[in-house]
Amino acid sequence: MTRTKATRTSASRATASRSWSGGNLLVAGDSLSLGATGGGGTYANRFSVQVQTYLQTQHGGTWEIFAPGGQGGLTGTSGALHITSSGWGVTQTYRLAIFEMGINNQAGNNKYPSGTYADDDEAHTGYATDIAALVSLITASASIPASHILICGVPPYGDTRIGGTAANEARFIKWNTLTIPNAATAAGAIFVPMDDVYGTDYDPNDDPDSYFPVDTTHPNEAGHTLIANRIISYLPGDLARPRRATA
């Protein structure tokens, strides 16, 4: 399968003179953001918590996670529906937002703020409109610039909707190389590629490896670490890992 090369966007390379110390972190996504194990439980050290730990360690202060559904994800629900379906609303001021919503939007054709798309083609073209609406909502209501909103691609997962057929493989590639990056760029947000996040250690046509002890969709904490590290590598300049001074 052709994979996109993980390269930072111009927005993520932008630097700012200010330095953050504490703030609120918005996380909206599906069961992956929830840290679902695939067996009825959740992982405490899911990727959002690891990003939170990084921010507190590198920048100081208290970084508090706010998330629709209470934990960052609603199982079986697309991230695009969270703000409305959870009854949560945007009431905080944020310094960083992470949208992980690709799998259920892609697989279930879930539409923001309600309903579903008629087919894959409509879902593909409509996703940019959905992302633009969400970014507009967050920037207007939560005092956060679009350059501090990260929109993640779809990580590999072993559902029958991905793998096994050429059509499903093409669908996965299309969302990761066109649908999501184009929508993120158009909205002024940062695209975080996830299609290669597990490296060569994931194959939906083989048995799950050490990252997937329960199923081939929900990674364990080691898999969440890979996701967190990828997100951290795409943080905007003023939240990125401090660089060592060079001679």
Residue ranges covered by each domain of the chain: 10-239
For the residues 104-130, what does the mean pLDDT come to? 71
Query: Is 99 a residue whose pLDDT tops 80?
Result: yes
CATH number (1.10.3210.10, 3.40.50.1110, 3.40.50.150, 3.10.129.10) of 10-239 reads 3.40.50.1110
For the residues 17-46, what does the mean pLDDT come to? 79
CB 178 within 8 A of CB 124: yes
194 CB contacts (<8 Å, ≥6 apart)? 102, 152, 153, 154, 155, 176, 227, 230
- What confidence score (pLDDT) does residue 25 get? 87
For the residues 159-170, what does the mean pLDDT come to? 62
pLDDT in tens, 178-195: 988 998 999 999 999 998
- What confidence score (pLDDT) does residue 241 get? 59
Ranges of H-type helices in the chain:
10-13, 31-34, 47-59, 82-85, 102-108, 120-142, 166-174, 180-187, 221-233
pTM here is: 0.81
For the residues 23-39, what does the mean pLDDT come to? 83
The percentage of the chain sitting over the pLDDT mark of 70, rounded to a whole number, equals: 65
For the residues 154-178, what does the mean pLDDT come to? 73
The H or E element containing residue 100 is strand 96-100
Q: In what order do the strands lie in the sheet with 63-66?
A: 63-66, 23-29, 96-100, 149-152, 190-192
For the residues 91-105, what does the mean pLDDT come to? 77
Query: Is 246 a residue whose pLDDT tops 50?
Result: no
Q: How confident is the model at residue 76 (pLDDT cuts 50, 70, 90)?
A: very low
For the residues 57-70, what does the mean pLDDT come to? 78
DSSP secondary-structure letter at 162? S
Average pLDDT, the chain: 74
Q: How confident is the model at residue 18 (pLDDT cuts 50, 70, 90)?
A: very low
Q: Select from 53, 51, 58 the least CA-distant residue to 241.
A: 58
Query: Is 131 a residue whose pLDDT tops 60?
Result: yes
Q: How confident is the model at residue 50 (pLDDT cuts 50, 70, 90)?
A: very high
d(CA 121, CA 140): 30
- What confidence score (pLDDT) does residue 13 get? 39
- What confidence score (pLDDT) does residue 160 get? 54
